[in-house]
Structure 1
Amino acid sequence: MDAMQRVRVNAAAAVNAEDASVWRWFSALLEERRIRWRYMFDSWVVNVDRTRVATEPTFYDAIRAAKDEADRRGLGRSAERSRTHRMRSGASELEQQAQNEFHPY
């Protein structure tokens, strides 16, 4: 394999890894019902946690842009990451205990 082929293979692997990351993020938010999208006036509009984060002409571009913007704004974190962030940001010990409490029903 020559140098150019190696560069192409490495670039393809990087794009595939990034793409997989976007769709894992999307799937997690979809499961948690925290992402919404609609087609409006020839554009896809994406909201994360009830905040508009992207408007793009294709669904694929809108989801990728939404992830970038949500990450920049700190939106769309998974429940575990959000809980950890709240604990580090000074949430009271009582709030933390209530969040971790086990409910058998």
Structure 2
Amino acid sequence: MQRIRLDAAAAANAEDAEVWRWFSGLLEERRVRWRYMFSRWVVNVDRVHVATEQNFYDAIRMAKEAATRRGLGLSTIGCSRIR
């Protein structure tokens, strides 16, 4: 039972770290926006609304899921861009 708990905690930590790496990359590129409006956190990625939740943590997690499904928020750090 202890091993199951440790494995679950490790998986949750890995998922949490992945969400915040995604968020920090978009933040650095100025591609994520959020605001607190009417008791909800509203999150946009690449100027597209992707999540509205009661707390910031859930809003960012849901934003990552929705943005990933829609192909938004893909990192461009380290990629050459043709201008």
Pairwise TM-score range, normalised by the shorter structure: over 0.9
Match 1:36 to one of 27, 33, 37: 33
Q: Which runs of 4+ in 1 moved over 6 A?
A: none
**Unpaired runs of 5+ in structure 1?**
84-95
Q: What TM-score, normalized to structure 2?
A: 0.93
Structure 2: how far apart are the matches of 1:35 and 1:80? 14
> Structure 2 matches for 1:8-87, cutoff 5 A?
8-79=5-76
- Report the AA paired with residue 6 of structure 2: V
Q: Deviations over 1:51-105 (max 9, x none)?
A: 0000000000000000000000000001159x6xxxxxxxxxxxx9x72x9xxxx
Alpha-carbon shift at residue 13 of structure 1 (Å): 0.1
Instruction: Report sequence identity in percent.
Output: 69
Q: Which has the higher helix share?
A: 1
CA RMSD after TM alignment: 1.9
> Per the alignment, in what secondary structure is the counterpart of residue 74 of structure 2?
coil
> Per the alignment, in what secondary structure is the counterpart of residue 44 of structure 2?
strand
Alpha-carbon shift at residue 9 of structure 1 (Å): 0.0
Q: Which has the higher strand share?
A: 2
- Greater radius of gyration (CA): 1
Instruction: Kindly indicate whether structure 1 or structure 2 has the higher relative contact order, using CA contacts under 8 Å at least 6 residues apart.
Output: 2
**Unpaired runs of 5+ in structure 2?**
none
- Report the AA paired with residue 27 of structure 2: L
| Alignment coverage as a number of residue pairs | 83
